[in-house]
Amino acid sequence: MKKPSHKKGTLPIRVNKEVVKHLSLGLYRNFALAVKELISNSYDAGATEIKIRLDLKNRKIIVRDNGRGMGYNELKDEYLTIGFFKKPTDKPDELGRIRIGTFGIGFLAPLPYCKTMRVITKKRGNNNAIEATIKAENFFREGAWDVSKEKVKYEIYESDLPIDEGENIISLEDIKPQIAEELRRTHVSGKSKIDHFGGLEKFKWTLAQYAPIQYPPARQDLGDFFSDPKLVPMNLWLDGEEIYRNVPEGVQILEKGDKQFGNISIKYAIMTPFRPIKPEEARGFQVRLKDVAIGFPRDFDVTKLGKTLGKLNMLCGEIHIISGLDNALMVNRDNFNYTQEVAEMYKFFQGVLRKWNDRLYALLEEDRKVYDALGGLKDDKRLIAGLKEANVIRFSKERLRFPEAPITKTRKTKLDAKARKIVDVLKEKEDTGFKVIAKKGEVSRKSAPIKVLPKKKSVIVYEDHPEFKEAIKLEGKEYQVEYDEWDAKSTSYSICKLKRDGSVIFNTSHTLFKSKLSDEVIKKLSLGIVVILKKERGAERIIRKLNDLLEYTFLD
């Protein structure tokens, strides 16, 4: 409840002329980024909790924090002094935080979007609250106008809060109709860009990208790597829902480490979900200074170096500036001055992007071999899911643009059993940390031919599984397939012959298997000839002649 006033009056707004021109150019063209500036101010004020409430019906947005609050002199001499300069410091406050704000322009950020900005602040250790009303629309009058003549009405009254608690409440009132309309907008088809999001979803995504908040609980790996254990984190809520930092779905860490460029010290992590990252704005490396995003994620101009990098759309990352760039930050906080050290950092990450672009192409080709070897196995979706979980394969089959039918090569120099081929291909992937075990012996058809054991870091291939035994169906009968080599000229059965158990054995040394003709066509034609003629008088002589005809036709 608001207590009776102890004091009323007006306060001047003081201006640094170098900053006013930035305001006239529209320093903050994105409403969510303007609200982000209020969040940064709360962070600097020692807030551990910030709650944002959108009251679109009444065209009002309220940002409330539990920070230190401001006294009368701080409100007058610092907050309402546009361009009040605070010398950068590397000394942490009582929460282990390094101050974000330097230029004293944060309070300007939301003014273009509302008619009135109301500030209610109560300083820790003080019983009184101060309420100040800023007529935002006055800052955008047409024609000549001296902003320094603007007076801010204020009122001081006793607060309901305990004396040891602080608070800041920023109420943006009569927000512009287009802002309310944008926040109510529903999403359009597709979500490849944040402009396709619904208005509220876009607002939330932007805050989550830029604000100094925590990584989601599911990405404790990133939190553990980047977080300073001495720093007290800040929690952010939007209409009762806690917001965490954006991390593209399904990303895996490819590389992480520390790096030094002269006086610049950084920590970084490079990630990919092994598919194009959505939304597109999340692609590239997000640079953060003092835990706040500096501009949009960037590719460090690597695309301007001439080489086409087709897998950049799958790469993202986090780069945290630990020290060395405080004085190089531009006024709008979107970029740094291009010093020699910054140039060295750009060059390093250009190399990182090129390296991982090439590596993703190589991994894709490795996965293509695995999918090719597995082609035709029943229930391969479950198997592939297991191999992906085990990080043996990374890409989805759709990324490789395979046809739905099992893949068969047009020409083979050697016909290996399917199980052996799978074992050999998977062994090439053992650098992922998983061991491939080939087991022989009879096994039930009901059991899986390949078993992935993530906890034991192994993949078991049952080589004698019925599913690995190749078979050819011909005239309603199934023939189990085997392979051997013999002198084609020593017998009429130069390409294949039937065994007494009803299986068929093919001569892999026959020249036809080195032709451009499909292996499947050779096997079906040669087996068909034998099956059709095996009971005929003079079968061997006719089979020899027909086999000779096949050679003459396809090897000519």
Do residues 313 and 272 touch, judged by C-beta distance below 8 A? no
Closest CA to 69 of 130, 144, 155: 130
The set of residues, in sequence order, having a beta carbon less than 8 Å from that of 326 and lying 6+ positions away, is 88, 90, 102, 289
Residue 28's pLDDT band, with cuts at 50, 70 and 90, is very low
Predicted local distance difference test score (pLDDT) of residue 328: 64
pLDDT for residue 415: 43
Q: For the chain, how big is the Rg over CA atoms in Å? A: 35
Instruction: Give the chain's domains with CATH numbers.
Output: 5-219 (3.30.565.10), 248-351 (3.30.230.10), 375-469 (no CATH), 471-556 (no CATH)
- Rounded mean pLDDT of 461-470? 85
Q: Coil, strand or helix: which one is 452?
A: strand
Do 300 and 350 form a contact (C-beta atoms < 8 A)? Answer: yes
Nearest alpha carbon to residue 483 among 454, 445, 523? 523
Question: What is the pTM for the complete model shown?
Answer: 0.78
Token pair 């799978």 in the structure block, residue: 422
Q: What percent of the chain has pLDDT over 90?
A: 49
436, 430 Cβ separation under 8 angstroms:
yes
- pLDDT tens-digit readout, 262-287: 999 999 999 999 999 999 999 999 99
Averaged over 125-133, what is the pLDDT?
Answer: 95
Q: Which band of pLDDT confidence, cut at 50, 70 and 90, is reported for residue 336?
A: confident
State how beta strands 60-65 and 49-55 pair.
antiparallel
> 104: which 2 tokens?
């004293």
Burial degree of 58 (CB within 10 A; 0-12, 13-18, 19+) = exposed
H or E segment and range at residue 120 = strand 114-122
- pLDDT band for 253, please (50, 70, 90 cuts): very high
Statement: residue 389 has pLDDT above 70: yes
Residue where the block lists tokens 């084609």? 488
Check: CB of residue 80 under 8 Å from CB of residue 17: no
The mean per-residue pLDDT over the stretch 473-489 comes to: 89
- The alpha carbon of 235 is separated from its chain's Cα centroid by a whole number of angstroms, namely 22
User: Cα separation of 274 and 252, whole Å?
Assistant: 8
Mean pLDDT check: name the lowest of 79-93, 272-286, 465-479, 540-554: 79-93
Residue with tokens 């590596």: 359
The verdict on whether omega for the bond into residue 279 sits within 30 degrees of 0, i.e. cis, is yes
Burial class (CB in 10 A: 0-12, 13-18, 19+), 61: buried
Please name the residue that has the structure tokens 């597109």: 280
CA distance 336 to 346: 11
